[in-house]
Amino acid sequence: MERILITGAGGYIGSNAVVYFTRKGYVVTGMVRHHVCDRFRNAGVEAIRADLCDSASLEALFASRSYDYVLHIAALASDVGRDADFRIANFEAVKQLASLAMRHNVRRFVYLSTADVYGLHDFHGETEEQLAFDMNATNPYPKYKIRSEQWLAANVPPERFACVRPCVVFGNGDTTITPRTVAYLKSSPAVFHFGKWKGRNRWPLAHVENVCRSLHAAMILQDAGGQGVTILDSKCTTLHAYYLQLAREFLPGKTLREVALPRWVIWPFARLSTALSRHRPLFDPTLYALDTISHNLDFSNARMRKWLHATNLEEYVCDSYQ
């Protein structure tokens, strides 16, 4: 049986990947750090404690085990934070882990990146061939995702790595965007839209099951070698529709009042939130969140669907955020 090392296995996306690949018959070893969710505990897979920022613990991952594949999901993910922290966790650790994987004859290193590498501006169905990295990115999260992808392309044989770039991930115990948005809807007197789109811009959702299936395709598909793929559900959901559906599911009976305002009205508050926040946003929106919600993030998912079809997988469809 083939063995997979999944980093970040105790977290949201990682634990879903553990369950998915265990169900597919792979022998899974999960790298965890401190806290692990119940989904990972219930999967019954081998756990190894390691720290992305500790080179010795990364070396220990390979000390007594061999892996056919490495899925690198662990990362520092936040709107805000110190540039140095992101550089160590999201760039230096990627270089070391990928180098170790190559040295230990791992067949393919699959890197979980982000669609934010394309930048936060208006898109209109562009494919991966038409998209380029936003080399002017200043937020450290996409900045070091971009650098990691560039490093992999320059230092790892193309047939031995692939990059998966999810959009806004939700579903199956989401601990990130869904509870954050529900908290906003619960506390705010109205739903505020900023900029020209007035809530009619696409909110680029990617169900976590489609992320897992795409990781699988990126891992085993020959044509995926050296390539990146955008993960985006085919159903087009506007920000307006997203807020309404979340309110129906999590806040039944609540009437949403929507207000459209120009970006300059909220920009000083977003800047203040970004300046005062450290490891997580002090209040919403941050500058990064403001850019996200005020643009039309409408990418093509043709490559994702092609990869899934080529590996006899289908896109997962889910209309619930619970």
In tens, the pLDDT along 208-251 reads 999 999 999 999 999 999 999 999 999 999 999 999 999 999 99
- Domain identity same for 253 and 128: no
Q: How confident is the model at residue 33 (pLDDT cuts 50, 70, 90)?
A: confident
Q: How confident is the model at residue 51 (pLDDT cuts 50, 70, 90)?
A: confident
In a domain, 316, yes or no: no
In a domain, 322, yes or no: no
Is the CB of residue 104 less than 8 Å from the CB of residue 115? no
Q: Report whether pLDDT(321) > 90.
A: no
Is the CB of residue 66 less than 8 Å from the CB of residue 56? no
What pLDDT score does 53 carry?
Answer: 83
What lies within 8 Å, CB to CB, of 59 at 6+ separation is 100
- Whether residue 166 is preceded by a cis peptide bond, meaning omega within 30 degrees of 0, is no
What pLDDT score does 38 carry?
Answer: 76
- Domain identity same for 194 and 153: no
- Domain identity same for 59 and 196: no
What pLDDT score does 284 carry?
Answer: 87
Q: Report whether pLDDT(201) > 90.
A: yes
- Domain identity same for 144 and 188: no
What pLDDT score does 26 carry?
Answer: 97
- Domain identity same for 7 and 154: yes
**What count of residues does the chain have?**
322
What pLDDT score does 112 carry?
Answer: 98
CA 306 vs CA 37, 183, 215, 276: distances in Å: 32, 36, 13, 43
- Domain identity same for 241 and 224: no
Q: How confident is the model at residue 319 (pLDDT cuts 50, 70, 90)?
A: confident
Alpha-carbon torsion, ordered 167, 170, 171, 173, to 10 deg = 130
Provide the mean pLDDT of the chain: 94
The C-alpha atoms of residue 201 and residue 297 are separated, in whole angstroms, by 7
The token pair that represents 25 in the structure block: 């018959």
In a domain, 321, yes or no: no
Q: What is the DSSP letter of 72?
A: E
What pLDDT score does 61 carry?
Answer: 87
In a domain, 54, yes or no: yes
Q: What is the pLDDT of residues 70-111, one digit of tens each?
A: 999 999 999 999 999 999 999 999 999 999 999 999 999 999
What pLDDT score does 279 carry?
Answer: 82
What pLDDT score does 58 carry?
Answer: 86
Q: Which residue has the higher pLDDT, 52 or 204?
A: 204
- Domain identity same for 126 and 152: yes
Q: What is the pLDDT of residues 279-300, one digit of tens each?
A: 888 888 999 999 999 999 999 9
Q: What is the pLDDT of residues 62-78, one digit of tens each?
A: 988 899 999 999 999 99
Number of domains in the chain: 2
Q: Report whether pLDDT(37) > 80.
A: no
String of DSSP letters for 87-150: HIIIIIHHHHHHHHHHHTT-SEEEEE--GGGG-SS---SB-TTT----TT--SHHHHHHHHHHH
The C-alpha atoms of residue 163 and residue 110 are separated, in whole angstroms, by 6
In a domain, 319, yes or no: no
Q: Report whether pLDDT(35) > 80.
A: no
Mean pLDDT over residues 268-278, rounded?
92
- Domain identity same for 182 and 42: no
**CATH number of the structural domain spanning residue 57:** 3.40.50.720
In a domain, 317, yes or no: no
- Domain identity same for 38 and 104: yes
- Domain identity same for 195 and 255: yes
- Domain identity same for 118 and 226: yes
In a domain, 318, yes or no: no
What pLDDT score does 8 carry?
Answer: 93
What lies within 8 Å, CB to CB, of 161 at 6+ separation is 98, 108, 109, 110, 111, 152, 225, 226
What pLDDT score does 42 carry?
Answer: 76
In a domain, 93, yes or no: yes
User: Domain range spanning residue 267?
Assistant: 177-201+237-293
The token pair that represents 66 in the structure block: 């061999």
- Domain identity same for 105 and 225: yes
Is the CB of residue 211 less than 8 Å from the CB of residue 169? yes
